[in-house]
Homo-oligomer: A and B are copies of this chain.
Amino acid sequence: MVSRAGRKTDAGFGKQSSRDALLQAVKNLMTRGGTIDVSLSDIAQESGLNSALIKYYFGTKQGMMIALVEDVVLADIAQLHHLLESDANPVEKLRSQIGAIVNVYFRNPYLNRLVNKLFEDPESAEILAERVSRPMAAVQRALIEQGVEQGYFRNVDPMLLYFMVLGACDHLFFGQRMLKVTFGLDIMDEQLRKSYANTILDLVMNGILLPKPAA
Interface residues, chain A, with chain B CB atoms under 8 Å away: 112, 115-116, 119-120, 125-126, 128-129, 133-134, 137, 154, 156-157, 159-161, 163-164, 166-172, 174-175, 177-179, 181-183, 195-196, 199-200, 202-209, 211
Partner of A167, one of B115, B134, B169, B182: B169
Interface of A is mostly: helix
Within the assembled complex, what's the spacing in Å between the Cα atoms of A166 and B166? Answer: 12
A183 to chain B, nearest CB (A): 6
Within the assembled complex, what's the spacing in Å between the Cα atoms of A197 and B204? Answer: 15
Within the assembled complex, what's the spacing in Å between the Cα atoms of A152 and B65? Answer: 46
Question: How many copies make up the complex?
Answer: 2
Do the beta carbons of A203 and B133 come within 8 Å of each other?
Answer: no
Do the beta carbons of A156 and B199 come within 8 Å of each other?
Answer: yes
Do the beta carbons of B207 and A164 come within 8 Å of each other?
Answer: no
